[in-house]
Homo-oligomer: A and B are copies of this chain.
Amino acid sequence: MAGNSFGDLFRISTFGESHGKAIGVILDGCPPNIAIDEDFIQSELDKRKPGQSKITTQRKESDTAQILSGVFEGKSTGTPIAILIPNEDQRSKDYSHIKDIFRPSHADYTYHMKYGHRDYRGGGRSSARETAARVAAGAIAKSFLKQHGIEIFAHVSGVGKIESPNLDTKDLEALLDLRESNIARCADPATANEMIEFIDAVRKSGDTVGGRISTIIRNVPVGLGEPVFDKLHADLAKAMMSINAVHGFEYGSGFAGSELLGSQHNDLFVSEEHDIHRTKTHTNFSGGIQGGISNGMDITFKTAFKPVATIMRDQQTIDSNGNEATVQGKGRHDPCVVSRAVIIVEAMAALVIADHLLKQSSYKNVR
């Protein structure tokens, strides 16, 4: 209710502030007997961690995950899996100058007004550092989904006005290799180079820039998603919009689809299979979801991230008494978040699918 949990049956609750002792997560509802691979969790965290490259923040955090419970002899037990990620490289004094000043377009003002009392160091709870906890839990969700053959692939499809061309998505593993071959995490190498150059220039000018991430989820069984309010795409939307800096979400044809005619947009069934369990459609404007429920086609969606609010330039603002003030551009921040956010998007997508897989299973097998 207080906003720090996500999911119903496969449910995470995160805790921790950017400059506190640690951040972490409890994953409750993970089925028993799932192999938990700590190396895989760590490799996922490494893709999100700060200090990876010249186009990310230089804060250094090893982001080492410690599993405290719920795993015995390498497998989940069905009890809560608690994961702790200690904070290491806080430089809290970097933030003493904003103790009484509200940074523009940050959560400083709204947290101050909501709670009256806030941990201002590094953004406290509003910091995107919290998403490391999501990535750790998302890695377990991915392991669970892998047993069901479900694949998730996200990449940076846009930075500023730079846009990746459409990808050939037949082989998601090959695309993953392409994505990981560059620090922008765009699966189109030429576009990736363009993005890196642009972000680096933006960074040097003390500025930041927004971007977009495109995601595909493959091999989702038909039938996931609850009708009416908990439509699969509605839960995906909430999951994505809950990631720091996200300002937009669309699935399938998205905003562009709203310009089309029904005769252009309808996904006609392929009638060759003669097996309704393996039905396909010629097009996929529906993005793999019809009436809120997966139809077995690829689930596709796109997420838009605003530019990071902290820029390395002085800005006019107000202080906690409402008086004019100047906030200085200090600290270590990302010029563009999308290359790190790719793994957060995948984690949240995995958590949504895992939750709906359990929901579907709850009555699928009791008739």
Contact = CB atoms under 8 A, between A and B. Distances in A.
B209 A262 contact: yes
A257 interface: yes
Contacts of A105: 265-267, 285-286, 290
Nearest to A202: B261
A210 B249 contact: no
Contact of A3 (B230, B255, B358, B365): B230
Copies of this chain present in the complex amount to 4
Nearest to A70: B15
Interface in A56-86: 66, 68-70, 72-73, 75-82, 84
A238 to B, nearest CB: 4
Nearest to A6: B229
Interface stretch (A45-53, A184-192, A292-300): A292-300
A269 B9 CA distance: 33
Interface in A200-241: 202, 207-212, 222-223, 225-231, 233-235, 237-238, 240-241
6 contacts: A4-B26, A234-B238, A237-B237, A248-B249, A359-B362, A364-B365
Contacts of A306: 252-253, 257-258, 260, 265, 285
A75 B362 contact: no
A276 B310 CA distance: 21
Given A113-B223, A114-B225, 10 more contacts: A1-B11, A2-B29, A22-B82, A77-B118, A77-B125, A158-B259, A233-B247, A248-B251, A260-B307, A365-B365
A260 B210 contact: yes
Contacts of A161: 259
Contacts of A211: 258
A321 B147 CA distance: 28
Interface in A127-142: 130
A271 B8 contact: no
B247 A241 contact: no
Contacts of A96: none
Contact of A114 (B223, B309, B320): B223
A254 B248 contact: yes
A191 to B, nearest CB: 15
Interface string A17-46: 100111110101101111000000000000
A182 interface: no
A328 interface: no
Given A15-B82, A209-B260, A228-B14, A317 B268 contact: yes
Contact of A20 (B6, B68, B265): B68
A218 B40 CA distance: 45
Contacts of A168: none
B249 A242 contact: no
A313 B84 CA distance: 40
A267 to B, nearest CB: 5
Contacts of A13: 5, 13, 26, 28, 80
A183 interface: no
Contacts of A268: 104, 315-317
A176 interface: no
Interface in A111-128: 111-119, 124-126
Interface string A270-284: 010111110101000
A274 B320 CA distance: 9
A260 to B, nearest CB: 6
A106 B158 contact: no
